[in-house]
Amino acid sequence: MVARRHAVALAVTALLAAGAACQAQERESRQPQRPGPPAASAARGFTLVASGDILPHSSVIERAQFDAGGTGYDFRPMLADIAPVVSRAGLALCHMDTVYGANGLYGGAPAFRSPPEIAQALAATGYDGCSTASGHSLDDGAAGVQRTLDALDGAGVRHTGTARSQAEADALPLLHAGSAEVAHLSYTYGTDFPVPAEQPWSVDLADEHRILADARAARKAGADVVVVSVDGGTEWQDAPDERQLALARALTASRTGGRPDIDLVLGTHAHVPQAYEKVNGTWVVYGLGDQIAGEMFNGQGVEDPRGNESTVARFTFAPPAKPGGRWEVARAEFLPQMFDVDAGRVVDLGKALAQGAGVQGVRDRIRDVVLSRGAAKDGLVMGE
C-alpha cells in the first residue's frame, strides 16, 4: 500500500505544479446574489458542486503548520488544485467533518479538534457553505460546535447541521445560486459522543420523517432546490448499505403537489467513494469519500489508500419550463480526486489523463465504483 502511495505521489508532482500555475487564469466570478427569486423570464440555471469529508488528522495539521511557515496554519495550498472547479460553480458545498479546537490544542483521532484556520481556506477555495452534522460533531462538546460555527461565520461560509441555539436549529437559511433559492439541509446517523440532553438541537440526527418535514418547510420558505446531506453508511464499504438505500428510496419518493420534496441527496462518512444513482428521478450520491484526511487504516487495521480517494459531484440545474415546476438536473458529472498524503495536497485527477499508470489506476477505480449502480445510463459522466 505504501509503495503504491509513493508511486502515485511521484506521478502527480507535475500535475500539482501545473495546476497552481493556471489556477488564477481558470478562476471565474460567481453569479451575483439576488435578494429574492426574479421573474420567470429572467430565470438562470446554475452549477452546484459538492465534495466529501474534510477530516484533518494530526499529520494534516502538521502539514498546514509547515505551509504557514511555522506560524499558524495554512490549509489553502492543500485545496489549490481543486479551487478552479469549486470557484467556478454557482454554489459550492463542502462537508466539515470535524469541529475546531482552540489555543493550539489540535489533533486527530479519536476526538478531532481542528485549527479554525480551515474556515478561511474553505472560503478562499470558493466554498459557499458546508454541512456540519457528522459523527464528530460533538468531539469537543458544545464548545466545539460554537467555535466551529463562529469560525465559519467569520469566514463567510454558510453552515447547516449543527447549531448554537434552538433558534438557529429551527432556522431554514437559503443560499442563492443563479436565480434559484437553494436550501441545504444536513443530518448524521449518530455522534461519537452523546447529544446533550439539555441541547437536543445541537446536531441534526437523520430520521426520514424529520428530513422530509424539514424539506417541505424549506420549500414553503421559498426554496427552489432542496439539497440534503446525510453523514452515514458503513465505513470502508464501496457499496451503499441497506439503510442508505432505504433512506434514498424514501426521500426521493416523497412528493408534495406532484413535485419532489428533495432535489439532490449527498452522502458522506464511509471514507471511500461510493456509487451515484438516479432514484425515483432524483440524483443520489451515496458517498463522496474523504477530500482531506491523513493516512487511513481500514477496519482490519491495514493502511488503505481508498481513504484518500473521493469525488466532487457537479450537477447543472436548469430552471423550470413554467413557474412552480421542478428545477431539473440538465447535466450530471463526477470529478475523481485524491489526497496525496506525502505532498499534503488534494489532486484533481480529472486533469491527470497522461500522468502515469498509478494515477490512472486510482481514477479508473473511482470511476468503476461511482458507476457501479448504472448511473451512466442516466447520463452521469466523468468531468474535467
pLDDT of residue 4: 46
* 110: in domain: yes
Alpha-helical regions (H) of the chain: 2-26, 58-67, 76-79, 83-88, 117-125, 141-155, 166-170, 208-220, 242-253, 357-370
pLDDT of residue 324: 85
The pLDDT-based confidence of 85 (bands split at 50, 70, 90) is very high
Spatial separation of the C-alpha atoms in residues 269 and 273, rounded to whole Å: 10
Domain containing residue 335: CATH number: 3.60.21.10
Q: In the chain, what percentage of residues exceed pLDDT 70?
A: 88
Asked if 65 contacts 346 with a C-beta cutoff of 8 angstroms, the reply is no
State pLDDT tens for residues 4-24: 454 444 444 444 444 444 443
Say if residue 382's pLDDT is above 50.
Answer: yes
Q: Which residues contact 216 (CB under 8 A, 6 or more apart)?
A: 256, 261
> For 185-202, what is the mean pLDDT?
97
pLDDT of residue 355: 64
> For 95-120, what is the mean pLDDT?
96
State pLDDT tens for residues 227-270: 999 999 999 999 999 999 999 999 999 999 999 999 999 999 99
pLDDT of residue 43: 86
* 40: in domain: no
* 117: in domain: yes
Q: Which residue range(s) make up the domain with 236?
A: 2-33+46-382
Q: Which of 130-134, 172-176, 204-208, 368-372 has the lowest mean pLDDT?
A: 172-176
* 38: in domain: no
State pLDDT tens for residues 336-350: 999 999 999 999 998
* 39: in domain: no
**Cα-based angle 14, 296, 283 (whole degrees, multiple of 5):** 80
Total number of domains constituting the chain: 1
The pLDDT-based confidence of 98 (bands split at 50, 70, 90) is very high
pLDDT of residue 50: 98
* 41: in domain: no
